[in-house]
Chains A and B, each alone.
Chain A
Amino acid sequence: MPPAPVSPLITVVFRGTVLFVVWWALTLGESSGLAFGAVVSALVAVVSLRLFPASGFSVRPAGLMLFLGYFLSRSVVAGVDVARRLLSPALPVQPGEITLTLNLPEGSPRWLLANTLSLMPGTLSILLEGNRLTLHCLDTRDPVERDVRETERQVGRVFGLAVDDSAEAAR
Chain B
Amino acid sequence: MTDSLMFVMQAVLLVLGCLFFAVGTLGLFRFSDTLTRIHALTKVDNLGLGFIVLALLPLAPSLAGGLKTLLIWAAALAASATSAHLIARAVHVRPEPPETGEADHD
The reply to whether chain A is a binding partner of chain B is yes
Interface residues of A (CB under 8 A from B): 21-22, 24-29, 72, 75-76, 78-83, 86-87, 91, 93, 95, 114-116, 118-119, 121-122, 124-127, 134, 136, 138
B40 at the interface (CB under 8 A from A): yes
The answer on a CB contact under 8 Å between B63 and A86 is: no
The answer on a CB contact under 8 Å between B43 and A126 is: no
> Considering the chains assembled together, what is the distance between the CA atoms of A128 and B42 in angstroms?
19
The answer on a CB contact under 8 Å between B81 and A22 is: no
Interface residues of B (CB under 8 A from A): 20, 23-24, 26-27, 30-31, 33, 35-36, 38-40, 42-44, 46-48, 50, 61-65, 67-68, 71, 77-78, 80-82, 84-85, 88-89, 91-92
* Given contacts A81-B43, A82-B27, A126 and B81 within 8 Å (CB-CB): no
The answer on a CB contact under 8 Å between B36 and A138 is: yes
The answer on a CB contact under 8 Å between B42 and A119 is: yes
> Considering the chains assembled together, what is the distance between the CA atoms of A159 and B44 in angstroms?
28
Which residue on chain B has the smallest CB distance to residue A21?
B67
The answer on a CB contact under 8 Å between A121 and B71 is: no
Residues of chain B within 8 A of A134, CB atoms compared: 92
Which residue on chain B has the smallest CB distance to residue A27?
B64
The answer on a CB contact under 8 Å between A118 and B64 is: no
The answer on a CB contact under 8 Å between B64 and A24 is: yes
B61 to chain A, nearest CB (A): 7
The contact of B80 among A28, A79, A119, A121, by CB within 8 Å, is A119
The contact of A82 among B39, B61, B85, B88, by CB within 8 Å, is B39
Which residue on chain A has the smallest CB distance to residue B47?
A79
Residues of chain B within 8 A of A26, CB atoms compared: 68, 71
The answer on a CB contact under 8 Å between A87 and B23 is: yes
Residues of chain A within 8 A of B47, CB atoms compared: 75-76, 78-80, 83
